Every structure is written in C-alpha cells, then in structure tokens.
Structure 1
Amino acid sequence: MTPCRSDAYSNVNCAARPVVSLIERTSPSAVTIQWRDSTSCFYGAQIWRVAGAKVSGVCVLTGQWIRRGDRIYHPWRSNPEPVNAHAMILESALELMAPLQPTTAP
C-alpha cells in the first residue's frame, strides 16, 4: 500500500495522485466530480459537498495545505464509504475552475 492510501491523500510528495475533473456545479453547495485513481478507484460522477474541514490535510486538486475549519469540498458520505472518503478539495480551488454564478431576481 502506498503512503497515499494510508494517510488519505495528505502526502504532498506522493507520486500516485488522482486525476480530478469537475463535471458540473449542481448547487451552490454541491458539485459532481470525476475521480480517477489508477491505484484504488474510479468514480465517474461522484457528488461532493462543501463543509468546514474537520481535520488538516492537503487539497487533492492543488496540493495546498488545508487547515481544520477551512472551507472544502469532500465526497458525499454513503454506505459503503467511498474509497476516497477522506479526500478534500479547497473551496477556493473549485471556485477558480467554475465560479459560482450569481442568481438574478425576476
């Protein structure tokens, strides 16, 4: 097992990085992500929700450090738990990929 698996993608120097693509922004607090990791799993359309980080870690999209309390996206919790359940993406990193569009009043 690689260090990536044992520490939930928190090793910045890990060579086995997943390929993460934003499919769509489904709401102001949810996105659909495609997750490809040749060493563990593939999710073609996985729902991720925004929240405050419960633990410190590393953004799988940018490699930036995430501190507890930072705004992040994480995989929707389900049963069974997804292989990448502890992965995190900084909210600011997704905002750069697909800015949230303001809603207009009628």
Structure 2
Amino acid sequence: MRTYTVTIVEELSNSLFALRWHDPTLCNYEEQIWALCFAPAAARCALSGERIRKGDPVYRPRIRGPFKPLNSDAVILASELRKASTRG
C-alpha cells in the first residue's frame, strides 16, 4: 500500500527536478533533488505505479555525500514526471 505523496516543487535546469516527498511512515523531504538516469533494475513508478524495466529513463533522488536518502530506492518514469510537470 502506498503511504507517500509526491509533489513537484520546481523543474530545474540540467534535467533535475525538486520534489516534495512525504511519507509519514518513513521520511519527509521538502525540496529533494531528483536526477535523470537509467533504471538499474525493474521497479514500479512511484508517481504512476507503472512498471519500469531495467534501462528505462527514470528520475531518482540525487545522492550527495556519504548519506543516502531513506527513499533512495524510489524511481519515477521520466515520461510520467514530465507529463505531471506540464499539468501543474
């Protein structure tokens, strides 16, 4: 069962997005930076629930420094995030 909500805060330059990730059972990030990459493995899109295949273009939380965000395994299909950003 999905316990989190994802909100687009801002589309940034260089294929980056600032997202708000709120999960009352795990973590809360107000302006987390997500970067474009290729899916390292099969997964589900955190935004739409659609299947993701290894190698699909996706966005993931950017990891900087020694600490991984608690939602570092989350992925969003690039096409779904772009679609959502044009609706807002």
d(CA) in 2 for partners of 1:26 and 1:59? 21
Which one of the candidate residues 55, 62, 84 is aligned to 1:69?
A: 55
User: How far does residue 98 in structure 1 lie from its aligned partner after superposition?
Assistant: 1.7
Superposed CA RMSD:
1.0
Q: Does 1:55 align with 2:37?
A: no
Give the distance between the partners of 1:17 and 1:42, measured in 2 at CA. Answer: 12
Aligned partners of 1:87 and 1:35: how far apart in 2?
Answer: 10
Alignment of 1:4-43 (within 5 A): 15-43=1-29
SS at match of 1:98: helix
Q: How many residues align?
A: 85
Considering fraction of residues, name the structure with more strand.
Answer: 2
TM-score by length of 1: 0.76
- Tell me what 1:98 maps to: 85
1:18 CA displacement:
1.2
Name the larger-Rg structure: 1
For residues 39 and 97 of structure 1, the distance between their equivalents in structure 2, rounded to whole angstroms, comes to: 24
> 2:3·2:25 contact (CA, 8 Å) conserved in 1?
no
Gaps of 5+ in 1: 1-14, 100-106
Divergent runs of 4+, >3 A: none
